[in-house]
Structure 1
Protein backbone atom coordinates (compact mmCIF):
# COMPACT_ATOMS: atom_id res chain seq x y z
CA UNK A 1 0.00 0.00 0.00
CA UNK A 2 2.77 2.44 0.95
CA UNK A 3 4.75 1.64 -2.20
CA UNK A 4 1.76 2.34 -4.45
CA UNK A 5 1.09 5.62 -2.64
CA UNK A 6 4.72 6.74 -3.08
CA UNK A 7 4.56 5.75 -6.77
CA UNK A 8 1.36 7.77 -7.21
CA UNK A 9 2.95 10.78 -5.50
CA UNK A 10 5.92 10.65 -7.88
CA UNK A 11 3.68 10.43 -10.93
CA UNK A 12 1.65 13.39 -9.69
CA UNK A 13 4.83 15.45 -9.31
CA UNK A 14 5.46 14.99 -13.05
CA UNK A 15 1.80 15.62 -13.86
CA UNK A 16 1.83 18.85 -11.87
CA UNK A 17 4.78 20.28 -13.79
CA UNK A 18 2.82 19.97 -17.04
CA UNK A 19 -0.40 21.23 -15.49
CA UNK A 20 1.30 24.40 -14.20
CA UNK A 21 2.61 25.41 -17.62
CA UNK A 22 -0.81 24.81 -19.23
CA UNK A 23 -2.53 26.78 -16.46
CA UNK A 24 -0.34 29.82 -16.95
CA UNK A 25 -0.36 29.62 -20.76
CA UNK A 26 -4.05 28.96 -21.39
CA UNK A 27 -5.81 30.13 -18.22
CA UNK A 28 -7.03 26.62 -17.35
CA UNK A 29 -6.73 25.03 -13.94
CA UNK A 30 -5.47 21.78 -15.39
CA UNK A 31 -8.52 19.64 -14.69
CA UNK A 32 -8.74 18.59 -18.33
CA UNK A 33 -5.37 16.90 -17.76
CA UNK A 34 -5.68 15.97 -14.09
CA UNK A 35 -9.02 14.11 -14.20
CA UNK A 36 -8.10 11.69 -17.03
CA UNK A 37 -4.66 11.14 -15.50
CA UNK A 38 -6.09 10.38 -12.04
CA UNK A 39 -8.69 8.03 -13.52
CA UNK A 40 -5.72 6.01 -14.80
CA UNK A 41 -3.43 6.43 -11.78
CA UNK A 42 -5.80 5.97 -8.83
CA UNK A 43 -6.83 2.35 -9.51
CA UNK A 44 -3.12 1.45 -9.69
CA UNK A 45 -2.81 2.89 -6.16
CA UNK A 46 -5.59 0.53 -4.98
CA UNK A 47 -8.39 3.12 -4.94
CA UNK A 48 -11.78 1.43 -5.36
CA UNK A 49 -13.37 1.78 -8.80
CA UNK A 50 -16.69 2.62 -7.09
CA UNK A 51 -15.40 5.99 -5.92
CA UNK A 52 -12.51 6.68 -8.31
CA UNK A 53 -14.47 9.20 -10.41
CA UNK A 54 -15.54 11.25 -7.37
CA UNK A 55 -11.99 11.23 -5.96
CA UNK A 56 -10.55 12.28 -9.34
CA UNK A 57 -13.02 15.18 -9.63
CA UNK A 58 -12.57 16.35 -6.04
CA UNK A 59 -8.77 16.10 -6.07
CA UNK A 60 -8.64 17.89 -9.42
CA UNK A 61 -10.73 20.78 -8.07
CA UNK A 62 -8.57 20.98 -4.93
CA UNK A 63 -5.41 21.19 -7.03
CA UNK A 64 -7.01 23.87 -9.21
CA UNK A 65 -7.57 26.10 -6.16
CA UNK A 66 -3.81 26.45 -5.79
CA UNK A 67 -2.75 26.10 -9.44
CA UNK A 68 -5.27 28.62 -10.79
CA UNK A 69 -4.64 30.88 -7.79
CA UNK A 70 -0.92 30.88 -8.56
CA UNK A 71 -1.61 31.45 -12.26
CA UNK A 72 -4.01 34.31 -11.47
CA UNK A 73 -1.41 35.95 -9.22
CA UNK A 74 1.23 35.78 -11.96
CA UNK A 75 -1.20 37.20 -14.53
CA UNK A 76 -2.21 39.95 -12.08
CA UNK A 77 1.43 41.03 -11.84
CA UNK A 78 1.52 41.17 -15.66
CA UNK A 79 -1.67 43.29 -15.77
CA UNK A 80 -3.83 40.55 -17.33
CA UNK A 81 -6.64 40.36 -14.74
CA UNK A 82 -9.77 42.48 -15.41
CA UNK A 83 -11.71 42.78 -12.14
CA UNK A 84 -14.64 44.47 -13.88
CA UNK A 85 -15.26 41.30 -15.91
CA UNK A 86 -14.80 39.06 -12.88
CA UNK A 87 -17.28 41.04 -10.78
CA UNK A 88 -20.11 40.04 -13.12
CA UNK A 89 -19.14 36.37 -13.42
CA UNK A 90 -18.17 35.46 -9.85
CA UNK A 91 -21.67 35.17 -8.26
CA UNK A 92 -22.74 32.76 -10.98
CA UNK A 93 -19.57 30.66 -11.05
CA UNK A 94 -19.60 30.22 -7.25
CA UNK A 95 -23.23 29.06 -7.16
CA UNK A 96 -22.64 26.92 -10.24
CA UNK A 97 -19.58 25.32 -8.68
CA UNK A 98 -21.56 24.30 -5.61
CA UNK A 99 -24.50 23.08 -7.73
CA UNK A 100 -22.22 20.97 -9.94
CA UNK A 101 -20.89 18.99 -6.97
CA UNK A 102 -24.46 18.15 -5.91
CA UNK A 103 -25.55 17.21 -9.44
CA UNK A 104 -22.51 14.94 -9.79
CA UNK A 105 -24.01 12.75 -7.07
CA UNK A 106 -27.19 12.28 -9.14
CA UNK A 107 -25.98 11.79 -12.73
CA UNK A 108 -24.24 8.56 -13.80
CA UNK A 109 -20.59 9.51 -14.25
CA UNK A 110 -20.29 7.81 -17.65
CA UNK A 111 -22.58 10.46 -19.21
CA UNK A 112 -20.58 13.47 -18.06
CA UNK A 113 -17.54 13.16 -20.38
CA UNK A 114 -19.76 12.88 -23.48
CA UNK A 115 -21.79 15.97 -22.61
CA UNK A 116 -18.75 18.02 -21.76
CA UNK A 117 -16.79 16.91 -24.82
CA UNK A 118 -19.53 18.21 -27.13
CA UNK A 119 -19.39 21.60 -25.40
CA UNK A 120 -15.60 21.68 -25.64
CA UNK A 121 -15.63 20.87 -29.38
CA UNK A 122 -18.23 23.60 -30.01
CA UNK A 123 -16.03 26.08 -28.18
CA UNK A 124 -13.03 24.98 -30.25
CA UNK A 125 -14.93 25.75 -33.45
CA UNK A 126 -15.84 29.17 -32.10
CA UNK A 127 -12.23 29.85 -31.15
CA UNK A 128 -10.98 28.93 -34.64
CA UNK A 129 -13.55 31.29 -36.18
CA UNK A 130 -12.53 34.11 -33.84
CA UNK A 131 -8.93 33.89 -35.10
CA UNK A 132 -10.03 35.41 -38.43
CA UNK A 133 -13.21 37.23 -37.41
CA UNK A 134 -12.90 39.91 -34.74
CA UNK A 135 -15.83 39.81 -32.34
CA UNK A 136 -17.85 43.00 -31.90
CA UNK A 137 -20.28 41.48 -29.42
CA UNK A 138 -20.44 43.36 -26.13
CA UNK A 139 -20.34 41.73 -22.71
CA UNK A 140 -23.87 41.23 -21.36
CA UNK A 141 -25.16 43.02 -18.27
CA UNK A 142 -24.83 41.82 -14.69
CA UNK A 143 -27.74 39.38 -14.95
CA UNK A 144 -26.48 37.92 -18.24
CA UNK A 145 -22.97 37.51 -16.82
CA UNK A 146 -24.31 35.85 -13.69
CA UNK A 147 -26.36 33.35 -15.72
CA UNK A 148 -23.40 32.60 -17.97
CA UNK A 149 -21.17 32.23 -14.92
CA UNK A 150 -23.67 29.81 -13.37
CA UNK A 151 -23.59 27.59 -16.46
CA UNK A 152 -19.79 27.72 -16.61
CA UNK A 153 -19.49 26.93 -12.89
CA UNK A 154 -21.94 24.01 -12.99
CA UNK A 155 -20.41 22.32 -16.03
CA UNK A 156 -16.88 22.91 -14.74
CA UNK A 157 -17.61 21.42 -11.32
CA UNK A 158 -19.28 18.41 -12.93
CA UNK A 159 -16.16 17.80 -15.02
CA UNK A 160 -13.65 18.56 -12.25
CA UNK A 161 -12.09 21.52 -14.07
CA UNK A 162 -11.51 25.16 -13.21
CA UNK A 163 -13.57 26.43 -16.13
CA UNK A 164 -10.85 28.13 -18.17
CA UNK A 165 -11.76 26.00 -21.20
CA UNK A 166 -15.22 27.58 -20.99
CA UNK A 167 -14.44 31.03 -19.59
CA UNK A 168 -11.65 31.94 -22.02
CA UNK A 169 -13.71 31.28 -25.20
CA UNK A 170 -16.73 33.00 -23.61
CA UNK A 171 -14.74 36.17 -22.89
CA UNK A 172 -12.98 36.03 -26.26
CA UNK A 173 -16.35 35.68 -28.00
CA UNK A 174 -17.38 38.97 -26.38
CA UNK A 175 -14.33 40.82 -27.66
CA UNK A 176 -12.09 40.56 -24.59
CA UNK A 177 -8.39 40.61 -25.51
CA UNK A 178 -6.90 37.11 -25.24
CA UNK A 179 -4.37 37.84 -22.49
CA UNK A 180 -7.06 39.54 -20.37
CA UNK A 181 -9.38 36.59 -21.00
CA UNK A 182 -6.72 34.08 -19.86
CA UNK A 183 -5.75 36.05 -16.74
CA UNK A 184 -9.36 36.71 -15.71
CA UNK A 185 -10.31 33.07 -16.35
CA UNK A 186 -7.57 31.98 -13.95
CA UNK A 187 -9.15 33.93 -11.10
CA UNK A 188 -12.67 32.75 -11.99
CA UNK A 189 -11.33 29.19 -12.08
CA UNK A 190 -10.07 29.57 -8.53
CA UNK A 191 -13.58 30.58 -7.39
CA UNK A 192 -15.20 27.65 -9.20
CA UNK A 193 -12.69 25.19 -7.75
CA UNK A 194 -13.14 26.40 -4.18
CA UNK A 195 -16.93 26.08 -4.29
CA UNK A 196 -16.86 22.73 -6.10
CA UNK A 197 -14.21 21.29 -3.78
CA UNK A 198 -16.22 22.23 -0.69
CA UNK A 199 -19.22 20.36 -2.11
CA UNK A 200 -17.20 17.21 -2.86
CA UNK A 201 -15.55 17.26 0.58
CA UNK A 202 -18.98 17.57 2.19
CA UNK A 203 -20.38 14.60 0.25
CA UNK A 204 -17.28 12.48 0.87
CA UNK A 205 -17.39 12.86 4.65
CA UNK A 206 -20.28 10.40 4.87
CA UNK A 207 -18.68 7.78 2.57
CA UNK A 208 -17.08 4.67 4.02
CA UNK A 209 -13.98 2.86 2.70
CA UNK A 210 -12.23 5.99 1.45
CA UNK A 211 -8.48 5.53 0.93
CA UNK A 212 -6.15 6.54 3.74
CA UNK A 213 -5.02 10.19 3.70
CA UNK A 214 -8.34 11.42 2.26
CA UNK A 215 -10.35 14.47 3.30
CA UNK A 216 -13.80 13.73 1.99
CA UNK A 217 -13.27 12.81 -1.64
CA UNK A 218 -9.97 14.74 -1.83
CA UNK A 219 -6.97 12.37 -1.92
CA UNK A 220 -4.06 14.20 -0.29
CA UNK A 221 -1.04 12.29 -1.76
CA UNK A 222 -2.21 13.09 -5.30
CA UNK A 223 -3.11 16.68 -4.39
CA UNK A 224 0.23 17.45 -2.73
CA UNK A 225 2.17 15.88 -5.61
CA UNK A 226 0.33 17.91 -8.25
CA UNK A 227 0.46 21.30 -6.54
CA UNK A 228 4.11 20.92 -5.41
CA UNK A 229 5.26 21.34 -9.01
CA UNK A 230 2.31 23.07 -10.70
CA UNK A 231 2.56 26.17 -8.51
CA UNK A 232 6.19 26.56 -9.60
CA UNK A 233 5.62 26.13 -13.34
CA UNK A 234 2.58 28.44 -13.71
CA UNK A 235 4.97 31.40 -14.00
CA UNK A 236 6.54 29.76 -17.06
CA UNK A 237 3.13 29.51 -18.76
CA UNK A 238 2.16 33.05 -17.76
CA UNK A 239 5.44 34.37 -19.21
CA UNK A 240 4.78 32.52 -22.50
CA UNK A 241 1.23 33.92 -22.61
CA UNK A 242 2.65 37.43 -22.16
CA UNK A 243 5.16 36.97 -24.99
CA UNK A 244 3.13 35.07 -27.58
CA UNK A 245 0.87 37.02 -30.01
CA UNK A 246 -2.90 36.76 -29.56
CA UNK A 247 -3.47 34.80 -32.79
CA UNK A 248 -0.94 32.19 -31.70
CA UNK A 249 -2.59 31.87 -28.27
CA UNK A 250 -5.99 31.33 -29.92
CA UNK A 251 -4.58 28.64 -32.20
CA UNK A 252 -2.91 26.84 -29.29
CA UNK A 253 -6.08 27.04 -27.19
CA UNK A 254 -8.34 25.85 -30.03
CA UNK A 255 -6.08 22.88 -30.81
CA UNK A 256 -5.97 22.02 -27.12
CA UNK A 257 -9.79 22.01 -26.97
CA UNK A 258 -10.04 19.78 -30.06
CA UNK A 259 -7.61 17.23 -28.62
CA UNK A 260 -9.27 17.12 -25.22
CA UNK A 261 -12.83 17.12 -26.59
CA UNK A 262 -12.08 14.31 -29.03
CA UNK A 263 -10.34 12.23 -26.36
CA UNK A 264 -13.22 12.65 -23.90
CA UNK A 265 -15.88 11.85 -26.51
CA UNK A 266 -14.24 8.73 -27.97
CA UNK A 267 -12.47 7.63 -24.78
Structure 2
Protein backbone atom coordinates (compact mmCIF):
# COMPACT_ATOMS: atom_id res chain seq x y z
CA UNK A 1 0.00 0.00 0.00
CA UNK A 2 2.92 2.38 0.63
CA UNK A 3 4.11 1.74 -2.93
CA UNK A 4 0.84 3.28 -4.14
CA UNK A 5 1.57 6.49 -2.22
CA UNK A 6 3.88 9.00 -3.89
CA UNK A 7 7.11 10.02 -2.20
CA UNK A 8 5.72 13.55 -1.87
CA UNK A 9 2.64 12.36 0.02
CA UNK A 10 4.67 10.13 2.33
CA UNK A 11 7.01 13.07 3.00
CA UNK A 12 4.07 15.36 3.79
CA UNK A 13 2.66 12.82 6.26
CA UNK A 14 6.09 12.52 7.88
CA UNK A 15 6.56 16.30 8.08
CA UNK A 16 3.07 16.64 9.55
CA UNK A 17 4.08 14.26 12.33
CA UNK A 18 7.35 16.14 12.87
CA UNK A 19 5.60 19.53 13.09
CA UNK A 20 2.78 18.21 15.29
CA UNK A 21 5.32 16.60 17.61
CA UNK A 22 7.53 19.67 17.86
CA UNK A 23 4.65 22.10 18.42
CA UNK A 24 3.02 19.77 20.91
CA UNK A 25 6.26 19.41 22.82
CA UNK A 26 7.18 23.10 22.76
CA UNK A 27 3.77 24.70 23.26
CA UNK A 28 1.74 21.92 24.90
CA UNK A 29 -0.80 21.89 22.08
CA UNK A 30 -2.53 18.79 20.77
CA UNK A 31 -1.54 17.56 17.33
CA UNK A 32 -5.10 17.36 16.03
CA UNK A 33 -5.31 21.07 15.23
CA UNK A 34 -2.34 20.55 12.89
CA UNK A 35 -3.03 17.04 11.62
CA UNK A 36 -6.70 17.38 10.61
CA UNK A 37 -6.37 20.30 8.12
CA UNK A 38 -3.26 18.76 6.53
CA UNK A 39 -4.97 15.39 6.13
CA UNK A 40 -8.08 17.06 4.71
CA UNK A 41 -5.99 18.77 2.03
CA UNK A 42 -3.84 15.72 1.20
CA UNK A 43 -6.81 13.36 1.12
CA UNK A 44 -8.38 15.59 -1.53
CA UNK A 45 -5.15 15.39 -3.57
CA UNK A 46 -5.09 11.59 -3.19
CA UNK A 47 -8.59 11.29 -4.60
CA UNK A 48 -10.57 10.50 -1.45
CA UNK A 49 -14.35 10.84 -1.80
CA UNK A 50 -15.09 14.55 -1.29
CA UNK A 51 -18.05 13.67 0.92
CA UNK A 52 -15.74 11.84 3.36
CA UNK A 53 -12.46 13.79 3.44
CA UNK A 54 -13.17 15.40 6.81
CA UNK A 55 -14.61 12.21 8.30
CA UNK A 56 -11.48 10.30 7.33
CA UNK A 57 -9.18 13.14 8.43
CA UNK A 58 -10.86 13.36 11.84
CA UNK A 59 -10.80 9.59 12.41
CA UNK A 60 -7.18 9.24 11.30
CA UNK A 61 -6.15 12.12 13.56
CA UNK A 62 -7.90 10.53 16.53
CA UNK A 63 -6.11 7.23 15.83
CA UNK A 64 -2.72 8.97 16.08
CA UNK A 65 -3.76 10.48 19.42
CA UNK A 66 -4.31 6.99 20.89
CA UNK A 67 -0.57 6.39 20.79
CA UNK A 68 0.74 9.89 21.47
CA UNK A 69 -1.55 10.34 24.49
CA UNK A 70 -0.49 6.94 25.84
CA UNK A 71 3.19 7.91 25.73
CA UNK A 72 2.48 11.36 27.18
CA UNK A 73 0.36 9.93 30.00
CA UNK A 74 3.10 7.47 30.91
CA UNK A 75 5.64 10.32 31.14
CA UNK A 76 3.29 12.43 33.29
CA UNK A 77 2.48 9.44 35.51
CA UNK A 78 6.18 8.81 36.09
CA UNK A 79 6.43 12.37 37.38
CA UNK A 80 3.33 11.83 39.57
CA UNK A 81 1.49 14.68 37.85
CA UNK A 82 -1.70 12.77 36.95
CA UNK A 83 -4.54 13.06 39.45
CA UNK A 84 -6.24 9.77 38.62
CA UNK A 85 -9.19 10.49 40.91
CA UNK A 86 -10.16 13.38 38.62
CA UNK A 87 -9.57 11.29 35.50
CA UNK A 88 -11.91 8.58 36.81
CA UNK A 89 -14.62 11.16 37.59
CA UNK A 90 -14.55 12.80 34.17
CA UNK A 91 -13.92 9.64 32.10
CA UNK A 92 -17.55 8.35 31.99
CA UNK A 93 -18.78 11.62 30.51
CA UNK A 94 -15.86 11.74 28.08
CA UNK A 95 -16.55 8.21 26.83
CA UNK A 96 -20.25 8.93 26.38
CA UNK A 97 -19.50 12.24 24.68
CA UNK A 98 -16.99 10.64 22.31
CA UNK A 99 -19.55 8.04 21.19
CA UNK A 100 -22.25 10.69 20.77
CA UNK A 101 -19.79 12.85 18.84
CA UNK A 102 -19.25 10.07 16.31
CA UNK A 103 -22.95 9.78 15.51
CA UNK A 104 -23.27 13.57 15.27
CA UNK A 105 -20.23 13.76 12.96
CA UNK A 106 -21.49 10.88 10.83
CA UNK A 107 -24.78 12.72 10.30
CA UNK A 108 -23.02 15.90 9.15
CA UNK A 109 -21.56 16.54 5.72
CA UNK A 110 -17.83 16.92 5.19
CA UNK A 111 -18.38 20.61 4.38
CA UNK A 112 -20.15 21.25 7.68
CA UNK A 113 -17.36 19.52 9.61
CA UNK A 114 -14.82 21.59 7.69
CA UNK A 115 -16.59 24.83 8.63
CA UNK A 116 -16.86 23.80 12.30
CA UNK A 117 -13.15 22.99 12.33
CA UNK A 118 -12.24 26.25 10.61
CA UNK A 119 -14.14 28.30 13.19
CA UNK A 120 -12.55 26.32 16.02
CA UNK A 121 -9.07 26.83 14.54
CA UNK A 122 -9.64 30.60 14.44
CA UNK A 123 -10.89 30.64 18.04
CA UNK A 124 -7.78 28.75 19.19
CA UNK A 125 -5.61 31.25 17.31
CA UNK A 126 -7.32 34.14 19.12
CA UNK A 127 -6.95 32.36 22.47
CA UNK A 128 -3.22 31.80 21.91
CA UNK A 129 -2.56 35.35 20.63
CA UNK A 130 -4.36 37.12 23.47
CA UNK A 131 -3.45 34.46 26.06
CA UNK A 132 -7.05 34.14 27.21
CA UNK A 133 -7.27 32.32 30.53
CA UNK A 134 -10.44 31.11 32.28
CA UNK A 135 -11.45 32.70 35.58
CA UNK A 136 -10.80 30.18 38.34
CA UNK A 137 -13.47 28.91 40.72
CA UNK A 138 -12.77 27.82 44.26
CA UNK A 139 -13.72 24.13 44.23
CA UNK A 140 -13.93 21.21 41.84
CA UNK A 141 -17.41 20.45 40.45
CA UNK A 142 -19.44 17.54 41.82
CA UNK A 143 -19.76 14.22 40.01
CA UNK A 144 -22.60 15.44 37.79
CA UNK A 145 -20.57 18.51 36.89
CA UNK A 146 -17.65 16.34 35.81
CA UNK A 147 -19.91 14.05 33.79
CA UNK A 148 -21.64 16.87 31.89
CA UNK A 149 -18.31 18.62 31.29
CA UNK A 150 -16.87 15.32 30.06
CA UNK A 151 -19.77 14.85 27.63
CA UNK A 152 -19.19 18.33 26.19
CA UNK A 153 -15.44 17.76 25.87
CA UNK A 154 -15.95 14.30 24.35
CA UNK A 155 -18.47 15.48 21.73
CA UNK A 156 -16.46 18.43 20.46
CA UNK A 157 -13.11 16.61 20.63
CA UNK A 158 -14.59 13.90 18.42
CA UNK A 159 -16.19 16.33 15.98
CA UNK A 160 -12.85 18.13 15.61
CA UNK A 161 -10.49 15.15 15.68
CA UNK A 162 -8.51 16.49 18.62
CA UNK A 163 -7.46 14.77 21.82
CA UNK A 164 -9.32 17.14 24.06
CA UNK A 165 -6.39 19.09 25.49
CA UNK A 166 -7.56 22.34 23.91
CA UNK A 167 -10.82 21.96 25.83
CA UNK A 168 -9.80 19.92 28.87
CA UNK A 169 -6.89 22.11 30.00
CA UNK A 170 -8.97 25.35 30.17
CA UNK A 171 -11.71 23.46 32.03
CA UNK A 172 -9.24 22.12 34.61
CA UNK A 173 -7.61 25.54 35.02
CA UNK A 174 -11.09 26.93 35.63
CA UNK A 175 -11.40 24.25 38.33
CA UNK A 176 -8.39 25.84 40.04
CA UNK A 177 -5.82 23.17 39.13
CA UNK A 178 -2.28 24.22 38.28
CA UNK A 179 -1.09 24.01 34.68
CA UNK A 180 1.21 21.03 35.32
CA UNK A 181 -1.62 18.85 36.66
CA UNK A 182 -4.09 20.16 34.09
CA UNK A 183 -1.85 19.14 31.18
CA UNK A 184 -1.14 15.74 32.76
CA UNK A 185 -4.83 14.99 33.39
CA UNK A 186 -5.67 16.20 29.90
CA UNK A 187 -3.20 13.71 28.40
CA UNK A 188 -4.79 10.91 30.43
CA UNK A 189 -8.27 11.98 29.27
CA UNK A 190 -7.19 12.15 25.61
CA UNK A 191 -6.58 8.39 25.53
CA UNK A 192 -10.19 7.28 26.26
CA UNK A 193 -11.53 9.97 23.92
CA UNK A 194 -9.31 8.77 21.08
CA UNK A 195 -9.94 5.05 21.68
CA UNK A 196 -13.72 5.39 22.01
CA UNK A 197 -14.09 7.80 19.08
CA UNK A 198 -11.78 5.91 16.71
CA UNK A 199 -13.40 2.56 17.49
CA UNK A 200 -16.93 3.92 17.11
CA UNK A 201 -16.03 5.71 13.86
CA UNK A 202 -14.62 2.47 12.44
CA UNK A 203 -17.71 0.48 13.44
CA UNK A 204 -20.06 3.15 12.07
CA UNK A 205 -18.26 3.25 8.71
CA UNK A 206 -17.26 -0.41 8.39
CA UNK A 207 -19.41 -1.12 5.33
CA UNK A 208 -19.12 2.31 3.72
CA UNK A 209 -18.21 1.65 0.06
CA UNK A 210 -16.85 5.17 -0.49
CA UNK A 211 -13.86 5.08 1.87
CA UNK A 212 -10.40 5.19 0.26
CA UNK A 213 -8.43 2.01 -0.42
CA UNK A 214 -6.53 0.52 2.54
CA UNK A 215 -8.84 2.31 4.96
CA UNK A 216 -10.35 0.55 7.96
CA UNK A 217 -13.70 2.27 7.94
CA UNK A 218 -12.89 5.97 8.05
CA UNK A 219 -9.39 5.27 9.39
CA UNK A 220 -6.67 5.63 6.75
CA UNK A 221 -4.04 3.71 8.66
CA UNK A 222 -0.98 4.27 6.37
CA UNK A 223 -1.13 8.01 7.14
CA UNK A 224 -1.78 7.37 10.84
CA UNK A 225 1.23 5.04 11.08
CA UNK A 226 3.66 7.51 9.50
CA UNK A 227 2.40 10.45 11.57
CA UNK A 228 2.52 8.49 14.84
CA UNK A 229 6.13 7.41 14.27
CA UNK A 230 7.26 10.98 13.64
CA UNK A 231 5.21 12.51 16.45
CA UNK A 232 6.55 10.09 19.06
CA UNK A 233 10.13 10.86 18.00
CA UNK A 234 9.83 14.65 17.83
CA UNK A 235 7.49 15.46 20.75
CA UNK A 236 10.26 14.90 23.35
CA UNK A 237 12.62 16.99 21.21
CA UNK A 238 10.06 19.80 21.18
CA UNK A 239 9.73 19.59 24.95
CA UNK A 240 13.50 20.01 25.32
CA UNK A 241 13.63 22.87 22.80
CA UNK A 242 11.00 24.73 24.86
CA UNK A 243 13.69 25.37 27.48
CA UNK A 244 15.98 27.09 24.95
CA UNK A 245 13.68 28.91 22.51
CA UNK A 246 11.51 32.01 22.86
CA UNK A 247 8.19 30.17 23.13
CA UNK A 248 6.21 33.43 23.32
CA UNK A 249 7.38 34.35 19.81
CA UNK A 250 6.62 30.83 18.62
CA UNK A 251 3.10 31.09 20.05
CA UNK A 252 2.46 34.29 18.07
CA UNK A 253 3.74 32.72 14.86
CA UNK A 254 1.68 29.60 15.48
CA UNK A 255 -1.43 31.69 16.21
CA UNK A 256 -1.04 33.46 12.86
CA UNK A 257 -0.61 30.12 11.11
CA UNK A 258 -3.74 28.72 12.78
CA UNK A 259 -5.74 31.79 11.78
CA UNK A 260 -4.64 31.41 8.15
CA UNK A 261 -5.50 27.69 8.17
CA UNK A 262 -8.85 28.39 9.84
CA UNK A 263 -9.79 31.01 7.25
CA UNK A 264 -8.69 28.67 4.46
CA UNK A 265 -10.91 25.90 5.85
CA UNK A 266 -13.90 28.25 5.61
CA UNK A 267 -13.29 29.21 2.00
Indicate the SS of the match to 2:5.
helix
- Report the equivalent of 2:258: 260
Cα distance change on mapping 1:6 and 1:262 into 2, 3 Å: closer
The separation in 2 between residues aligned to 1:81 and 1:25, in whole angstroms, is 20
Shift of 1:126: 11
- Report the equivalent of 2:127: 124
Cα distance change on mapping 1:86 and 1:252 into 2, 3 Å: farther
Indicate the SS of the match to 2:190.
helix
The separation in 2 between residues aligned to 1:251 and 1:261, in whole angstroms, is 16
- Report the equivalent of 1:163: 164
Instruction: Say which is worse superposed, 34-43 or 201-210, in terms of deviation.
Output: 201-210
Task: Work out whether residues 27 and 183 of structure 1, in 8 Å CA contact, stay in contact via their aligned partners in 2.
Answer: no
The separation in 1 between residues aligned to 2:69 and 2:78, in whole angstroms, is 14
Matched, 1:9 2:10: yes
- Report the equivalent of 2:219: 218
Task: Work out whether residues 22 and 235 of structure 2, in 8 Å CA contact, stay in contact via their aligned partners in 1.
Answer: yes
The separation in 1 between residues aligned to 2:174 and 2:37, in whole angstroms, is 28
The separation in 1 between residues aligned to 2:36 and 2:223, in whole angstroms, is 11
- Report the equivalent of 1:205: 206
- Report the equivalent of 2:175: 174
Cα distance change on mapping 1:207 and 1:18 into 2, 3 Å: same
Indicate the SS of the match to 1:139.
coil
The separation in 2 between residues aligned to 1:4 and 1:15, in whole angstroms, is 16
Task: Work out whether residues 74 and 238 of structure 1, in 8 Å CA contact, stay in contact via their aligned partners in 2.
Answer: no
Shift of 1:116: 5.2
Instruction: Say which is worse superposed, 112-121 or 187-196, in terms of deviation.
Output: 112-121
Task: Work out whether residues 53 and 110 of structure 2, in 8 Å CA contact, stay in contact via their aligned partners in 1.
Answer: no
Cα distance change on mapping 1:254 and 1:23 into 2, 3 Å: same
Shift of 1:176: 1.2
Task: Work out whether residues 66 and 191 of structure 2, in 8 Å CA contact, stay in contact via their aligned partners in 1.
Answer: yes
Shift of 1:195: 0.7
Instruction: Say which is worse superposed, 16-25 or 50-59, in terms of deviation.
Output: 16-25
- Report the equivalent of 1:148: 149
Structure 2 residues without counterparts, runs of 5 or longer: none
Matched, 1:57 2:58: yes
Structure 1 residues without counterparts, runs of 5 or longer: none
TM-score (norm 1): 0.84
The separation in 2 between residues aligned to 1:5 and 1:18, in whole angstroms, is 20
- Report the equivalent of 1:184: 185
